[in-house]
Structure 1
Amino acid sequence: MQTQRPDRIRKILADLVAFDTISDRSNLPLIAYIENYLASLGVTGQRIVDESGQKASLWVAIGPEDKAGLVLSGHTDVVPVAGQEWTHNPFELVERDGRYYGRGTTDMKGFVAVCLAMVPEMLEARLETPINLAISYDEEIGCVGVRRMLGEVSRKPVKPLGCFVGEPTQMQVIIGHKGKHGVRATFRGLARHSSIAPDGVNAIEYAADLITEIRRRAVLLAQEAEQNSLYDVPHSTLLTSIVHGGAALNIVPDHCTVEFECRGIGISESRQVTDAIVAWAKAEIEPAMRKRHPECGIDFEEILDYPALDTPAENPIVTLAKQLAGRNDHAKVAFGTEASLFVDMAGVPSVVVGPGGIAQAHTPDEFIEISQLESCGNFVARLIAYCAKATA
């Protein structure tokens, strides 16, 4: 069966890539595909649908359901391709020079394909400790789908022993990642003809004050970089990412929206940083706007929020992950994952370890090295062998 593994991985990955699961679209056709594949092997999963009925996660248990298991977690959504220059159809798998190209190959349908391709081996092994597949949606827009799924998991009679989230790490074991808090600020100004600009309230110019303050604080955070940090970016980061405003050159802009984020090293640092910026803007910018006109001001809303991950290096899940990966190193990364929510919402110790590199994620002509998928297959094979023994 092992000799058939590469072909199964390629076939399933090609099928998964063909589904356009950009986050603003339904993932139900892809979920149905996975359900049909599992059903052909005699496996049934639990579908967990969102409020709209257009998105679903899938929780699958292979092995004894009355025992605590180990989780392999991945998401089905991908980022948009609009505006990117691809040399081929992004939703068609292309093999070239030892790589598979296509949207989601690295982030993270490659990992999901490996897990699904290994199900026959899981069944053949007659597991003593179950393996759970956690397949979610809308990770790319704030780890949305996994939250509802973890609500279901936390109500089950037994809690998983640990979780491996297969985001791209080149199969290195990641024990920590930054948290993230995103905020949208909407500035309400007063429109006037630009010839009488002093009579108006320029929403863009006041938004610029906020952007300048965000930049100033970002520089201060960079100066606090930890020496010998395990993080690839050794300090919390802060930036403005999206700005929209104005209607015409000859109109004083009465609206401007600014979106900004903090990725914080501490468990809740990201929210603390953005909360401080909001408080500063309400104390320094908004009174000046209202002095010009009482109906002007700023509205703030949260865009997304997830905590940081900080799994102790001595935790058994870290030791096991290193054994399965065949390496003894670990690190921390700047990008976020669903791993922190497994810890925060369900109390399941988690690490991040998966095929491919984060530098390929979200890019045009996204690709994954075939050798990385093979390494991931070996990781899952070792997990199967481990779970075939009485470990719990």
Structure 2
Amino acid sequence: MSTEDILRTLIGFPSICGTPNGDIIGWIEEFLAGIGARVRRVAGDRPDAFSLFASLGPDGPGGIVLSAHSDVVPVAGQNWSTDPFTLSGQEDRLYGRGSSDMKGFLACMLTAAAKASARTLRRPLHLAISYDEELGCLGVRSLLRDLKENGLEAGGCIVGEPTGMRVATAHKGKISFRIRCTGRAAHSASPFEGINAISLAAGMVQELGRLQTYIRDTETHDTRFTVPFSTVQAGLIEGGAALNIVPEHCSVMAEMRLLPGQDGAGYLERLREASRSVISSVGGGEILIEVENAYPGLNSSRNTEICTLVLHETGRNETDVINFGTEAGLFEEQLSLACVVCGPGSIGRAHKADEYITREELLQGDRFLEGVLDRLCR
């Protein structure tokens, strides 16, 4: 099968994050087993989801891990010109959900695996395929636990998110958290008999703005990033039951995007301290701040073997940073595995209607991984 044919098959699986993924994982598992790879299916942290880990070549240290996620974001509410789960070509463009993010690289990975099966590798090629990356890098965590328990020893990891084949060694981390506000219900004709939870939430939204100012003014800026400091913002708010009821409950979903090396703990504590002033100003109630998900940033050295290899095989002299998160920081944190982020396609096309990758970009991905295989054969 050509890489385009593999991509067509992968796009045909509507592997939306948060849904069962047994179909796509089963097909990939069968494909890899059919070329002689050693394949292990890893149970996820929810019962209907799985990851895969596969290896070709000798069973030993020093190999290279190629990493991709198998899930995609939903298409509901988007005005697609074509069926998002049928790969369709128009001139050089190949349209389909996940074509850039990141089934394009996953297809290149499987092509590379098929080529590796016909070559004599001196060091192993590993493939790590996760789920629910789009929900905050959730699914890779059970896979990383499995790899750690099984004592994976590798020389580096390439996370193939769409970078236009730029070689990224850094990105920000993320904390998503809920601000849960509880007041006291009352009839709106006598609002002072209640405690308005929406007022508590509004006060906390203002505190988020104050925290952002504090971060901007006190953090050491990292000018590699478009926004050179950590950010915080409210993204969702929900509260109240009816207009004539003083709302008893309101919640605010917020996130921090943290410079590499920042863990955000001090910023969350600052918000918790501020919540006491908000409660006092409203006249009572309760505010809880609960972390719902977090993943670390990436700040890898360009002096690693994997970075040197990827720079050479992409024909680049300089590393870059990216403004979106990936699983790479977790690979480094959990496995002490040097990582770079590099793959075909553009993140600017991801998560939108009419997402596409070009045939030339797929060829770039194939040529790049062919060079990686050459290194493993030396």
CA contact 1:189–1:253 (8 Å) conserved in 2: yes
User: What are the equivalent positions in structure 2 for 1:86-165 lying under 5 Å apart?
Assistant: 86-165=80-159
Question: Which residue does the alignment assign to 2:191?
Answer: 197
SS, match of residue 37 in structure 1: helix
Contact 2:32 2:54 in 1 (8 A): no
2:229 is the counterpart of 1:240: no
Contact 2:170–2:260 (CA<8 Å) still a contact in 1?
no
* Cα separation, partners in 2 of 1:271 and 1:366, compared to 1, 3 Å: farther
Instruction: Give the Cα–Cα distance (whole angstroms) in 2 for the partners of residues 197 and 97 of structure 1.
Output: 63
Mapped to 2, the partners of 1:121 and 1:160 lie a distance apart of: 20
Is residue 2:377 matched to residue 1:388?
yes
Q: Is it true that 1:50 corresponds to 2:44 in the alignment?
A: yes
Q: Aligned letter for 2:343? A: G
Whether contact under 8 Å (1:232, 1:332) holds in the other structure is no
Shift of 1:383: 0.2
| Distance across 2 between alignment mates of 1:274 and 1:149 | 29
Q: How does 1:269-288 map to 2 (within 5 A)?
A: 269-281=263-275, 283-288=276-281
Deviates more, 1:323-332 or 1:126-135: 323-332
Give the corresponding residue for 1:354. Answer: 343
What TM-score, normalized by structure 1, do the two folds share? 0.91
| Counterpart-to-counterpart distance in 1, 2:356 and 2:220 | 33
Q: CA deviation at 1:157?
A: 4.2
Maintained 8 Å contact 1:106/1:356:
yes
1:62 maps to which residue? 56
Please, which runs of 5 or more residues in structure 2 have no aligned partner? none
Q: Which of the residues 321, 329, 353 maps onto 1:364? A: 353
Task: Return the alpha-carbon distance in structure 2 between the equivalents of residues 206 and 105 of structure 1.
Answer: 43
CA distance in 2, matches of 1:106, 1:272: 36
* Percent of paired sites with the same residue: 36
Aligned to 1:304: 293
Shift in alpha-carbon separation, 1:278–1:168, aligned structure 2, 3 A: farther
Aligned to 1:320: 309
**1:192: how far off?**
1.6
Summarize the Cα distance change of 1:167–1:275 in structure 2 as closer, same or farther, 3 Å threshold. farther
Kept after mapping to 1: 8 A contact 2:56/2:117 = yes
Once residues 10 and 124 of structure 2 are traced to their aligned partners in structure 1, the CA distance between those partners, rounded to angstroms, is: 25
Contact 1:239–1:261, Cα closer than 8 Å, also in 2: yes
Alpha-carbon offset, residue 172 of structure 1: 0.4
Question: 2: distance between equivalents of 1:158 and 1:19?
Answer: 30
Q: Give the residue type in structure 1 aligned to 2:271.
A: I
2:72 equivalent to 1:78: yes
Matched, 1:251 2:240: no
Q: CA deviation at 1:219?
A: 3.8
Deviates more, 1:54-63 or 1:142-151: 142-151
1:327-346 equivalence runs, <5 A: 327-346=316-335
**Structure 1 stretch 227-236 or stretch 109-118: which is displaced more?**
227-236
Q: Which residue number in structure 1 is paired with residue 366 of structure 2?
A: 377
Instruction: Specify the code of the residue in structure 2 equivalent to 1:21.
Output: S
Shift of 1:324: 1.6
The corresponding residue for 1:18 is: 12
The answer (yes or no) to whether the contact 1:236–1:264 under 8 Å persists in 2 is: yes
Give the residue type in structure 1 aligned to 2:341.
Answer: V
For 1:274 and 1:371, the matched residues in 2 are separated by: 45
Alignment of 1:27 with 2:21, yes or no, is: yes
Aligned residues: 378
Q: CA deviation at 1:276?
A: 2.3
Q: Secondary structure at the match of 1:184?
A: strand
Q: CA RMSD in A?
A: 1.8
Distance 1:381 1:75, change over 3 A: same
Letter in 1 for 2:163: T
Which amino acid in 2 is paired with 1:49?
Answer: A
CA drift at 1:382: 0.1
CA distance in 2, matches of 1:158, 1:216: 44
Give the TM-score normalised by the residue count of structure 2.
0.95
